[in-house]
Amino acid sequence: MKDSTNRKMIQLHTMCFFLLCMTMQAIHIKTAAQALSGDTDTLLWKVSGFHNITKNEDVTSYSDFTSHQNKITWSQSGGDQINEFPVTSKEGVWPDVSQSGSVLFHVTWNGLNGTIQFAKEGGHTAITLEIYKEGANITPYLFSVSEVVKN
């Protein structure tokens, strides 16, 4: 009886060890797949809402930003409204967006200059959009990013 119980315990421990190894391998594969570069990859940044800095107001609004090397697009209303921001220059190096870091794009929009910053700090990923007209920021928005994927 004792021998049978020991055998069952060894089988149970072996199975637990096997499941632990499989889980660790899956975590490693997922982490490796998420090594996306904010510098070279075309990335889709899924937004779940934004904060209007001027009004100090949080808004739930789903949209997507796509960062390319030469432009950034902002798609709203399921793609019915798309704004395109040509990139004039870029500041920063961010080789892995799963880690803390940032990259700042200088952009134009309808003849106006501004910036779009993609950043991650303290586990929170955000996009800051600033377009200036006559010295005032007409887009004082801080977007909360729920997911970043290679596009």
Per the structure, how many domains does the chain have? Answer: 2
Residues 89 and 48 in one domain: yes
Q: Which residue has the higher pLDDT, 84 or 69?
A: 84
Q: Read off φ and ψ for residue 7, nearest 5 degrees.
A: -65, -40
C-alpha span between 4 and 62 (Å, rounded): 58
pTM over 0.85: no
Is residue 15 located within the same domain as residue 66? Answer: no
Cα gap 74→78, rounded to integer Å: 11
Both 21 and 61 in a single domain?
no
3-class DSSP state of 31? helix
List, in sequence order, every residue forming a beta bridge with 126; answer none if it has no partner. 119, 144
For 19, the domain range is 1-33
- How many CB atoms are located within 10 Å of the residue 8 CB? 10
Same domain, 50 and 24: no
pLDDT-derived band at 39 (thresholds 50, 70, 90) equals low
Q: Which pLDDT value is given to residue 77? A: 84
